Chain A
């Protein structure tokens, strides 16, 4: 991949994506072959928002490549609390490290950070913006289970604020994918994502009811609808309840439907789905390490 930074999935071509996924498959097959790939690489982990999976999988990935990480710790314990700007923070950390992984609550944070440093910046989530490394592991999981050609994908839940959704939608435009977006009216895709989908010529449909499309789907990607997106508890319960799936609901789906979720889930996928052949979200989470190893291998 010939990019200095990874900010949004829209910067990735199909060839870029396939190169990372191919390398991830090699790594997955024989991780020990990559154990000394980057012995001197030091990765800076800058998480301005809580994260377990993403932070740990980057930490694991760099160590499995023979490198190491430094972690700025929580915002509460760092100089950010004293009012230091993000621009200053990343400039200092870039001075110690060979690359920066950044998660930040503001949209555009990674774009800005990349302007201030000369090491690669990897966006690990910027507010309701993008989360492109999640998308790479999502695509890896889709490729393993359903393939990336002639694909019908349903994406359900919080499409407005869901950064994993925004990145996945952008990346799927480079493949032969039909996209169905299922959400309450108030949480439809934001204007910029719809604009890009339209410009790309992708086949896109929007729905408020999963039943309209469930039977057609190869992949159903479920995201969490958060309480804070609604003015009151009752409205939240009422709306969120309509965008939950359980094993019974999946009777209407194709036998080979792959159900995915970026995790953490709360109750939008009932635990009885876990025992079905549809459940691929834990495998998806597992793929985070080889895919991030492949990405770091291409960027550092």
Chain B
């Protein structure tokens, strides 16, 4: 299979996430909770030339349709991403990311003294600001380093 074929190869059923900023593909997978251990077939194109973004990443996930809620969380790191839901090789739905008001259980708080980082039965919860996120427990605001907070557990 050539590079070109890999990039454009169609999936039968699943989700194609396009126009991800270059270098963020693995963070996209982390956000939607895919690390390969579930057996999903995933193909990733990194730093593909793009008219809009210069370099972009593309993520294709077979046999998994992302929900609108999952898609919205992607807005934190890939605000211009486009999402195609594919059924039987055809694009059956196009989704655009929109910023959610709150993201729960996706990011972990960078404040080591935050109650959510302890052995307590709570999920992290962040309010989404226009230019960052804010922990719903300790109020810590994170602006530029959001991808660093993605919970890989």
Contact = CB atoms under 8 A, between A and B. Distances in A.
Given A85-B120, A111-B136, A106 B115 contact: yes
Interface residues of A, number: 21
A85 B141 contact: no
A157 B147 CA distance: 34
B115 A107 contact: yes
A195 B141 contact: yes
Nearest to A199: B129
A79 to B, nearest CB: 14
A251 interface: no
A108 B137 contact: yes
B113 A107 contact: yes
A127 B120 contact: no
A106 B113 contact: yes
B121 interface: yes
Given A127-B113, A128-B113, A107 B119 contact: no
Nearest to B137: A108
A108 B138 contact: yes
Contacts of A85: 119-121
A109 B119 CA distance: 12
A144 to B, nearest CB: 30
Contacts of B120: 85-87, 112
Interface in A89-118: 104-109, 111-112, 115
A106 to B, nearest CB: 4
B115 A86 contact: yes
A182 to B, nearest CB: 22
A105 to B, nearest CB: 7
User: A87, A106, A108: which has the most chain B beta carbons within 10 Å?
Assistant: A108
A191 B133 CA distance: 12
Interface of B: 111, 113-116, 118-122, 134-141
